[in-house]
Every structure is written in structure tokens, then in C-alpha cells.
């Protein structure tokens, strides 16, 4: 057997092993190892946390890039809106959501202040300051809504 045929055979054998392992794993899950509601809820919570962490990191990096003039405000603004949604989705009770929203409000207020300074230095347009202010207002609205929910008897 030539070297080329041995490589093809070895590659084929490896592929077959991978496919078999994949089938066995999938078959094992289908044969009674179904996750219950508690497992699914835990998985959702884990995924929500992972999404929140990823978006928080993206916002931090984009903020640096925005300050350096490497990304447009719109890119940062969309990431912040996504992170806002992720922070609200992550927490199960009003107390946790309120704390997260207050922290987030502080961060977007700082971003607005930075954008205003950049506008005054002619580094960004006035549109960016309006958009930054709109994000601050979005977070404040979410915070007040959450505080209202917490005050409403159930």
C-alpha cells in the first residue's frame, strides 16, 4: 500500500471513529438521559450569564476603541443596548435587576460624559452625544420600571 493510500485510510478510519463516537453520545442522550426542567433552567441561567459576560467584555473593549477613535459610537451603542438586555434577562428578581441596572446606569453615564468631552474636542459629532444621552435615558427608564415592579404587591 502506498503512503498516500495509508494516509487516506488512516484519515477515513479516524473519521469513522469520530462519527461512531458522535452517534454513541447522541444515542445515549436519546435513551433516557433527557434533561428535566431544573436542568434546562440551569442551562438557561448558565447561557444567560455567559452572554452577559461576553457582552460586558465587548462593551469594555469597544469603549477603549471608541475613546481611541477606532470604532464609531453606533457600534458601542448597539453593544451597550445588547448588554442592557442581557443584564435584565440574567437576574430572576427585582432586587438583583435593580442593582444591575444601577451599576449599568453609572457606566453609561460615564460613557455619555466621555462622549460629551469628545464632542467638545471635535472628535465626535453632536449626534453621538444625543445617542449617548438616549442610552442613559433607556437605562433610567428600565430602572424606574423595575423599581415600580418591586413596589407593586403581588
Give dist(CA 36, CA 16) in Å, integer.
32
Do residues 119 and 126 lie in contact, with contact meaning Cβ atoms separated by under 8 Å?
yes
Answer yes or no: do 44 and 85 share one domain. Answer: yes
Model pTM score: 0.69
Answer yes or no: do 67 and 97 share one domain. Answer: yes
Say which residue the cell 428578581 belongs to.
Answer: 93
CB atoms closer than 10 angstroms to residue 146: 21
Classify burial at 44, counting beta carbons within 10 Å of its beta carbon; exposed 0-12, middle 13-18, buried 19 or more.
Answer: exposed
Mean pLDDT value across residues 117-122: 94
Per-residue pLDDT tens digits for 8-67: 444 444 444 544 445 544 444 445 456 688 889 899 999 999 999 999 999 999 999 999
CA distances, 29 to each of 32, 34, 41 (Å): 7, 6, 18
pLDDT at 92: 86
Answer yes or no: do 29 and 44 share one domain. Answer: no
Answer yes or no: do 50 and 29 share one domain. Answer: no
pLDDT at 22: 53
Domain region containing 9: 1-34
Answer yes or no: do 53 and 121 share one domain. Answer: yes
Mean pLDDT value across residues 112-132: 94
Answer yes or no: do 25 and 59 share one domain. Answer: no
Answer yes or no: do 45 and 30 share one domain. Answer: no
pLDDT at 110 over 50: yes
Per-residue pLDDT tens digits for 72-105: 999 999 999 999 899 889 998 999 999 999 999 9
Which residue, among 48, 45, 74, has the nearest Cα to 62 in the 3D structure? 74
pLDDT at 38: 86
The three grid cell numbers given for residue 97, joined into one nine-digit string:
435587576
Answer yes or no: do 29 and 68 share one domain. Answer: no
Answer yes or no: do 48 and 25 share one domain. Answer: no
pLDDT at 36: 85
The three grid cell numbers given for residue 42, joined into one nine-digit string:
440551569
pLDDT at 153: 79
| Total domain count, the chain | 2
Answer yes or no: do 68 and 21 share one domain. Answer: no
pLDDT at 34: 67
Give the helix ranges, DSSP H, for 31-151: 37-67, 73-90, 94-120, 126-151
Give dist(CA 67, CA 111) in Å, integer.
9
Give dist(CA 111, CA 78) in Å, integer.
13
pLDDT at 37: 85
DSSP letter assigned to residue 32: T
Give dist(CA 112, CA 128) in Å, integer.
9
Amino acid at each position: 500500500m502506498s503512503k498516500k493510500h495509508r494516509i487516506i485510510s488512516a484519515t477515513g478510519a479516524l473519521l469513522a471513529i469520530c462519527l461512531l463516537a458522535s452517534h454513541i453520545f447522541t444515542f445515549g442522550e436519546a435513551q433516557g438521559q433527557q434533561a428535566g426542567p431544573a436542568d434546562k433552567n440551569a442551562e438557561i441561567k448558565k447561557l444567560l450569564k455567559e452572554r452577559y459576560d461576553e457582552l460586558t467584555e465587548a462593551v469594555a473593549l469597544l469603549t477603549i476603541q471608541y475613546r481611541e477613535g477606532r470604532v464609531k459610537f453606533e457600534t458601542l451603542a448597539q453593544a451597550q443596548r445588547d448588554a442592557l438586555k442581557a443584564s435584565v434577562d440574567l437576574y430572576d428578581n427585582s432586587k438583583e435587576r435593580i442593582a444591575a441596572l444601577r451599576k449599568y446606569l453609572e457606566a453609561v453615564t460615564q460613557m455619555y460624559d466621555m462622549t460629551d468631552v469628545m464632542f467638545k474636542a471635535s472628535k465626535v459629532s453632536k449626534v453621538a452625544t444625543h445617542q449617548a444621552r438616549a442610552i442613559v435615558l433607556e437605562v433610567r427608564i428600565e430602572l424606574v420600571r423595575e423599581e415600580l415592579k418591586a413596589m407593586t404587591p403581588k
